[in-house]
């Protein structure tokens, strides 16, 4: 099977600290893959390498057969590898509509399956609050806007960095449900989460990363039963501690 | 008499506003100060003057000056800003590097003009005077006010009504988020620097025509006044620059008309001092200084 995204032996360093030490992972078209692990394991660094924000010190990233290492982040986005960054990073002083319009920059002439209408159906609140400042939205609504903005850019692969961060549990459930329905309609997703239990419940496959290395990988439902994973990341059947 | 002075002040103030807008645009979007902005303004007057002397019509010279200053400003971005930005030392480094650019451009102009005060040939701009409800308005004043209004409208529409403007504002607010959405920030830098330089160039031509005294040092007092305007209006605030420019123009004309001539600058800077005491962020500024606001 050919993969949509393949990262091979990826390493990265921040001011001398090795954030990634030879990570390899692959995502196939239509998959919903989770990347879990403790704080500081290198999950965000990995996503930022994929997006071109951080330049890896070694290894290769291939997206639909094309090498991405060294590509500017805006070009990576325009190829349809789109990231919903940690902390949402919506533009608070711009309106909801302007935030969504900005997202469409990444299309740069490509065709997108995600029209404004489809995004409004997925998150009706965005249509209601069209002309309001994005900063006036609640945290959950801002997360929906951040996802909507990435969808406007016509993603072929959507990366999400901790979408549940700082959200009420009931909102997290809604956001994950929206991601599952997007995946069911054909969107390939790579989800980074600290909330391991919920991430494993929602996804097909998962990678567990620790200290810059992949320590476990496999089918999500099986990892959720793996004693080693339970002991380290899932606690005694409870949600993993942040 | 007072009404006449207010009118004159309003016209000059409109041009100050144009100049300050270009200055505040770069500060508001990139959080960096371009101290070569006064030299760009002077270049505008020079380009227009030499084009007119070369026999080109005034409107062609005006367009040449505006476009030329936009390009000069992009050159300043490439030489004095972009490399510093990569090193992460832009905030203070740019003060030095743009001061260098300022000196470079001024020396160049000094070399060309031989330090002389240059003047547009008589009737470069047709001298025509209208009487209107007891007020005296020249065609040049109408042209200045008209240009200021049109350029400000074009700028606000560009920033707030177009997709390109949304991209500029997004880079201003959160460059990383903009980049992840597919925005090439360098294109945004070039656009804002072009707009900023074009506004400086336009105000240089207008001031050159109005006072008809063009010299390589003419940008320096303007840079200082531009400073006053944006501190008065609030750093990085677009409406602040507009209102601040008009206020400064009127204040300057009134003090020059009614008070001993040496007092003008003393009064302007005292006023600035008082405003900073009462409103440290300026009339339109917010505590998050620098972040350009989407709301007008």
Q: Taking the domains of chain A in order of start, what are their residue ranges?
A: 5-234
Q: What is the rounded distance in angstroms from the CA atom of residue A223 to the CA atom of residue A225? A: 5
Q: Residue A163: how many CB atoms within 10 A of its CB?
A: 25
pLDDT for the residue B287: 56
Residue A235: its pLDDT value, please? 66
In this structure, the strands spanning A58-63 and A213-219 are unpaired
Least confident span in A30-39, B89-98, B146-155? B89-98
From the list B181, B291, B293, the residue facing A102 with the nearest CB is B181
Compute the average pLDDT of residues B205-213.
Answer: 94
Residue A1: predicted pLDDT? 57
Work out the minimum CA distance from B167 to partner chain A, whole angstroms: 6
Alpha-carbon distance of B108 to B112, in angstroms, equals: 6
Name the interface residues of A facing B (CB cutoff 8 Å): 51, 53, 72-74, 77-78, 82-83, 85, 89-95, 98, 101-103, 105-108, 133, 149-150, 153
Place of tokens 């905030």: B91
| CA gap B186, A82 in Å, rounded | 20
Given an 8 Å threshold on Cβ–Cβ distance, is B178 in contact with A102?
A: yes
Q: Which of B179, B293, B294 sits opposite A74 (nearest CB)?
A: B179
Tens digits of per-residue pLDDT, B229-284? 888 888 888 888 999 999 999 998 999 888 887 888 888 888 888 888 888 888 88
Please give the CATH number for the structural domain made up of A5-234. 3.40.50.300
CA B144/CA B150 separation, integer angstroms? 10
pLDDT of residue A18: 80
Q: State the pLDDT at residue A242.
A: 45
Alpha-carbon gap: A159 to the closest alpha carbon of chain B (Å):
11
Nearest chain B alpha carbon to A52: B180
Whether residue B21 contacts residue B155, with contact meaning beta carbons closer than 8 Å, is answered with yes
Contact B181 A85 (CB under 8 A): no
How does DSSP assign A85-101, residue by residue? -TT----TTSBHHHHHH
Position A163 scores a pLDDT of 94
Interchain contact, A78 vs B182, CB within 8 Å = yes
Average pLDDT score over residue span B212-228: 91
Average pLDDT, chain B: 90
Distance CA A133, CA A58 (A): 41
pLDDT exceeds 90 at position B112: yes
Question: pLDDT of A28-46, one tens digit each?
Answer: 999 999 999 988 889 999 9
Q: What Cα–Cα distance (Å) separates residue B46 from each residue in A186, B211, B216?
A: 61, 14, 8
Residue B291 has pLDDT above 60, yes or no: no
Q: Which of A54, A72, A73, A147 to mutate to test the interface with B (most CBs of B within 10 A)?
A: A73
Residue A183's φ and ψ, nearest 5 degrees, are -65, -40
Identify whether the C-beta of residue A86 lies closer than 8 Å to the C-beta of residue A44.
yes
Angle between helices B58-76 and B37-53 (to 10 degrees): 150
* In chain B, where the domains are located: 11-121+132-219
Instruction: Measure Cα distances from A54 to A61, B200, B290 in Å.
Output: 12, 37, 26
Query: Which distant-in-sequence residues (6+ apart) come within 8 Å of A237 by Cβ?
Result: A230
Tell me how far apart the alpha carbons of residues B178 and B168 are, in angstroms, rounded to a whole number: 9
CA dist B260 and B30 (Å) reads 40
Q: Which of A47-61, B145-159, B185-199, B218-232 has the lowest mean pLDDT?
A: B218-232
Determine the average pLDDT of the residues in B107-131.
92
Closest-CA residue in chain A for B186?
A: A74
Condensed to tens digits (0 to 9), the pLDDT of residues B31-54 reads 888 999 999 999 999 999 999 999
Strand A32-36 to A188-193 pairing: parallel
Range of A104-113, B6-15, B61-70 with top mean pLDDT: B61-70
Instruction: Please state, in angstroms and rounded to a whole number, the distance separating the CA atoms of residues B159 and A16.
Output: 41
| Residue ranges, chain A, pLDDT below 70 | 1, 235-242
Write out chain A residues lying below 8 Å of B160, CB-based. none
Beta bridge partners, A206, equal: A34, A218
Q: In what order do the strands lie in the sheet with A66-67?
A: A17-27, A5-14, A58-63, A66-67
pLDDT at position A126, please?
96
Q: At residue B288, does pLDDT exceed 70?
A: no
């Amino acid at each position: 099977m050919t993969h949509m995204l393949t990262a091979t032996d990826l390493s990265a360093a921040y001011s001398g600290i090795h954030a990634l030490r030879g990570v390899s992972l692959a995502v196939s078209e239509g998959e919903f893959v989770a990347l879990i692990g403790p704080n500081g394991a290198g999950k965000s660094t990995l996503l930022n390498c994929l997006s071109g924000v951080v330049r890896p010190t070694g290894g290769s990233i291939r997206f639909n057969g094309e090498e991405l290492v060294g590509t500017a982040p805006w070009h990576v986005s325009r190829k349809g590898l789109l990231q919903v960054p940690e902390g949402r990073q919506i533009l608070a002083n711009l309106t909801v509509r302007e935030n969504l319009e900005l997202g469409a920059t990444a299309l740069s002439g490509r065709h997108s399956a995600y029209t404004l209408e489809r995004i409004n159906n997925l998150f009706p609140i965005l249509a209601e609050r069209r002309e309001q400042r994005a900063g006036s939205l609640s945290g959950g609504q801002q997360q929906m806007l951040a996802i909507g903005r990435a969808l406007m850019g016509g993603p072929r692969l959507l990366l999400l960095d901790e979408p549940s961060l700082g959200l009420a549990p009931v909102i997290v459930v809604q956001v994950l449900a929206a991601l599952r329905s997007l995946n069911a309609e054909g969107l390939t997703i790579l989800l980074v989460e600290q909330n391991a239990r919920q991430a494993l419940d929602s996804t097909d496959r998962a990678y567990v990363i620790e200290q810059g290395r992949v320590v476990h990988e496999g089918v999500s439902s099986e990892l959720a039963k793996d004693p080693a994973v339970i002991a380290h990341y899932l606690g005694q059947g409870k949600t993993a501690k942040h | 008499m007072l009404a006449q002075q207010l009118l004159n002040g309003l016209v000059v103030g409109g041009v100050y506003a144009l100049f300050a807008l270009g200055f505040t645009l770069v500060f508001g979007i990139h959080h960096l100060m371009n101290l070569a902005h006064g030299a760009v303004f002077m270049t505008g007057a020079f380009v227009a003057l030499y084009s007119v002397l070369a026999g080109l019509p005034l409107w062609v010279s005006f367009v040449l000056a505006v476009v030329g200053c936009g390009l000069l400003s992009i050159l300043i971005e490439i030489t004095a800003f972009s490399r510093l930005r990569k090193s992460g030392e832009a905030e203070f480094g740019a003060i030095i590097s743009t001061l260098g650019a300022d000196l470079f451009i001024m020396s160049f102009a000094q070399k060309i003009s031989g330090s002389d005060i240059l003047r547009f040939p008589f009737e470069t701009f047709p001298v025509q005077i209208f009487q209107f409800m007891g007020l005296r308005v020249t065609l040049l004043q109408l042209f200045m006010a008209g240009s200021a209004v049109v350029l400000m409208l074009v700028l606000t529409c560009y920033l707030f009504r177009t997709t390109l403007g949304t991209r500029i504002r997004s880079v201003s607010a959160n460059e990383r988020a903009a980049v992840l959405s597919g925005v090439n920030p360098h294109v945004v830098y070039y656009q804002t620097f072009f707009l900023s330089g074009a506004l400086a160039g336009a105000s240089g031509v207008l001031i050159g025509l109005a006072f008809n005294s063009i010299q390589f040092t003419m940008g320096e007092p303007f840079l200082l006044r531009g400073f006053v305007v944006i501190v008065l209006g609030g750093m990085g605030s677009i409406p602040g620059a507009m209102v601040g420019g008009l206020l400064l123009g009127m204040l300057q004309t009134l003090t020059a008309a009614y008070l001993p001539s040496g007092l003008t600058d003393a009064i302007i800077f005292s006023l600035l001092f008082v405003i900073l005491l009462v409103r440290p962020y300026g009339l339109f500024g917010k505590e998050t200084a620098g972040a350009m606001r989407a709301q007008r």
